Structure 1
């Protein structure tokens, strides 16, 4: 499971290596959140070129050089070249100890993953399936866009096909931290309910959690820490905070940290984060959080995502391109069993019990939800073989 965090990027230095469409989306997200963005790439999209021309970003029109990642708070590699992406991760994270590093679509070389975010202008909602089912994440995002009359936060930058400025909206930068085997320090004198909740969540994410009291804290606790949680900055100490590279959350003073944790809806590997964009919308956010908790927690979504995750490596091997993988996932999710004609993909899209909570269709989602994993496995394997055969014919 990934750990949700809303990062404070205001005036923090961000580096994006790459100048294509994926890099463009990363840059837009960072600019909306107030990041101070630099792009390194020999070429760039029309929007990135325009943003550099008007001074919104810095663009170094060249290949990556040794030392380029030094001094940044957050680094993202979004090129089409594995060797360049690997070099970015190695230098930024392993050499320069930068905590927030992302190599697009390469989870082992990521300390965080970007969130899928929608907004209705008052609330922000982000979705993660912990990398196990992008198709489910996309389906949920589309559902929320429809029912909340919301839109993706990052579809900005063009009007009628023409590049336009990107404004700093003062929003947090929603991400999901990959904490497997990473050291997370919680400084506390007593384990309150909130502290216990954080310990549980961090442990579920595979983190190595250390909980010294402020009096017990030693320099070695912070030297290798990826994440530090405390009630106030004074618990960490000004000198430690300024010299260390760890990211930090202060429960009593959220604005003083590098991030905060929003209200969460969790069902195993499904994590939905809800946050108000402004203080006057906090009550609305809490009402939505309660509604989503009733709908999604303990209702089979986590089990469904876990099931899809068990087949993800087979699908990645069979379908190397994102488009073909997405097409297969859609066909798999939409497969139902008809008592007369057998398995078929209906003209309508499987509701995943989103629009019809009482749906009892003989479909993959309900098979998994009710524990009929043997049936679900059989259908998945058969469709994978069928689709793989189609792929071979196409080649």
Structure 2
């Protein structure tokens, strides 16, 4: 049984190909575009929305059957067809050119799986069942949405700003760690954003002043 290493990939500007032109392929295309990939689509039959994307210059479209060489110089490839022979040929070529591959619903041809994703701002929670039950992953994602709503995008943005300043202004590692612990575990992120943002910055200033006083 394959074991999949969980990792976040930067695909901005990377060449990615989607083989297939149906609804599943469309979802893959949109996700790749959302993360800044250069997307090529290969399929003889294409949804109108995909054709429109090509007309707008958002993707490169090869409206024909897959052929050997289509995956050259690609970083990542999705295959979303119901033609097993095509799927297998894509797998063989991806192995040859070193592209990482996902063939929809055929785990043995997959170098990677796509987890269910819950995203709020810079917070990304990924749920994977190693391909055993995508439906269960989806259920868990829906449950997480109830606990980690839009406010967590705001919270993470504030934490990022504070961390950046703390790395410059609080030299002692233990003090920074205590600050970060307090910000995450000691503050209740409920109610008005203005209130918890104020409390977070007050905490930062308190820890910073303690360090300044100690070092005088």
TM-score bucket (shorter structure): 0.5 to 0.7
Displacement after TM superposition at 1:281 (Å): 8.7
Residues 1:97 and 2:98 aligned together = yes
Displacement after TM superposition at 1:2 (Å): 2.3
Distance 1:38 1:48, change over 3 A: same
1:34 counterpart residue number:
36
CA distance in 1, matches of 2:162, 2:85: 45
2:110 counterpart residue number:
110
Given that 1:101 and 1:111 are in contact with CA atoms closer than 8 Å, whether structure 2 keeps it comes out as yes
Displacement after TM superposition at 1:135 (Å): 2.6
1:145 counterpart residue number:
145
Please state which structure has a larger fraction of its residues in helix: 2
Structure 1 residue ranges without an equivalent (≥5): 151-275, 289-395
Count of aligned residue pairs for this structure pair: 160
TM-score, normalised to structure 1, is: 0.38
Residues 1:71 and 2:73 aligned together = yes
CA distance in 2, matches of 1:277, 1:76: 32
CA distance in 2, matches of 1:140, 1:287: 23
CA distance in 2, matches of 1:135, 1:13: 30
Displacement after TM superposition at 1:78 (Å): 0.7
Given that 2:39 and 2:59 are in contact with CA atoms closer than 8 Å, whether structure 1 keeps it comes out as yes
1:9 counterpart residue number:
11
Displacement after TM superposition at 1:47 (Å): 2.3
TM-score, normalised to structure 2, is: 0.67
Given that 1:10 and 1:34 are in contact with CA atoms closer than 8 Å, whether structure 2 keeps it comes out as yes
Q: Secondary structure of 1:7's match?
A: coil
Q: Secondary structure of 2:8's match?
A: strand
Structure 2 residue ranges without an equivalent (≥5): 151-155, 164-179, 186-216
1:124 counterpart residue number:
124
Displacement after TM superposition at 1:44 (Å): 1.7
CA distance in 2, matches of 1:55, 1:106: 31
Displacement after TM superposition at 1:80 (Å): 1.5
CA distance in 1, matches of 2:40, 2:107: 23
2:56 counterpart residue number:
54
Describe the superposition over 1:160-208 as per-residue Cα deviations: whole angstroms up to 9, x where unpaired: xxxxxxxxxxxxxxxxxxxxxxxxxxxxxxxxxxxxxxxxxxxxxxxxx
CA distance in 2, matches of 1:13, 1:45: 21
Displacement after TM superposition at 1:13 (Å): 0.2
Please state which structure has a larger fraction of its residues in strand: 1
Structure number with the bigger relative contact order (C-alpha 8 A, sep ≥ 6) is 1
1:378 counterpart residue number:
none
CA distance in 1, matches of 2:114, 2:157: 18
Distance 1:108 1:62, change over 3 A: same
1:232 counterpart residue number:
none
1:291 counterpart residue number:
none
CA distance in 2, matches of 1:281, 1:124: 20
Say which of 55, 80, 102 aligns to 2:82: 80
CA distance in 1, matches of 2:142, 2:101: 28
CA distance in 2, matches of 1:2, 1:44: 31
